[in-house]
Structure 1
């Protein structure tokens, strides 16, 4: 009897131990991360190269031999300032010829206009027509009273008809002459404009105000529209172009202030986002963002690498958690928080994203442990076993 009792006691103890092991096996294994303040996160940083606001490659329109270099590399020039001269002898002769043709056409048009104002072509025909009409009216009265013959009546009427045709012809001629001379004048004006442009194109000028960085031609060299002859940059300001991923582009707004660090020079400058591309690059999914530097560097920073950081005065007070810890259902956004050995479902109100993190404005405090991964789907109050804290 004692042996049976001992066996029953051992069996009970084993059953209890096995039950305990089975209970431990039901705990869901999880990985958690601590909610952090914004200041503890790495700032969003992009890299780019400092560039001039614009750069213009100057390609001559005219072809010919360079006769004179009028600027050198390193010169600051105004818009329209001459850079070099191309031989303009032929263009000058063509311009003089075009001027003479224009003056001749102008004289012809002025003469036609004066004749039109004086009515010098139409007036004699008008007098003839008026005289013939008056004579016909007199003959008509006499013919009706039987004092002149049928032949005299027909002759007077024929004179009126001829005078009327001559008057119409004179009017048409005067109008045509004015129109023809006007067309000739416009044609001569166009030819003169073309000749003037060919002449002007022999002087190659800077289209913008800025710094001459390259002069690629020499006196005596033949140039053509296929040659990049010079480069001028607008160095009145500087910019940096960066590429921003689609997951971060909603954090970037036009006018947002940024911090620009030039590590090579040991300088920190201020800047602002001035332009954001409307669409992403189809091959990379990145958006091109332009940052305009708001402060002049004490050195020539063009060509240097720059670190771009978003300025954010709210960072120190904000709570951030990994974005992938957030879940949603019909009630809204929530996370599972590790509370002792249980998973607790906590509704959260979300703010802005920062890289792989997202701001929580309500629901969590700094240091709270949120569950990132679990060995199976969680339920509120479920027992958990923490494997890793990130």
Structure 2
């Protein structure tokens, strides 16, 4: 009985010790404090960046050339200078071309005046002059004809020589030709110019106008202007040098919009889109 009592005491004592250990462990766990940070949750965007290298290019580059051959009288711009569309870049010598324009204008004025005169018909003064010339030619022919008929009769009677007769005959023929010419001139003045004459003078007017337009075109192109606004670069001509059509004299870069040309790998191409 004593042994059983001792065993029971030890068992109970052991159970009490274990319970105390469990209680102590539980108390230790409750005393451990883990630090925690809190934040307000907000809706936003996550930015993603892609680093690449590329080449900066202008929106447009224009090579400026001359339309005509000539000598550079003055180069008005320098490399790197900003210009506006229409500004004069290079001035070519224009003295000879100005003379050509003046000559072509004078020729056109003269031919145009002749054309207007032909189309408008004769003036009253010209008609009177033609009538007077016709009357004078008729009177002269009648007088010479009368003398010719008299000499012809005398020749038939052998009263004059053949030479005298031939002379009278020639005078009559000349007077008759002069009368016929005066008659035709008078009719031309009254009727006006023939259709073919009008067409001929109109063709001359068109030809001289074309010559004048060409001279004016060349004069205009002695002033080489900027086709676009931008920055001047690559000037290849100096004052006094000859220039030829189609040979670049300088370039103008449009810097109003700049582009960067880059290479993107296939794996990154899906990460970008227009407007980013």
TM-score normalized with structure 1 length? 0.36
Higher helix share: 2
Higher strand share: 1
TM-score normalized with structure 2 length? 0.50
**More RCO (CA 8 Å, sep 6+):** 2
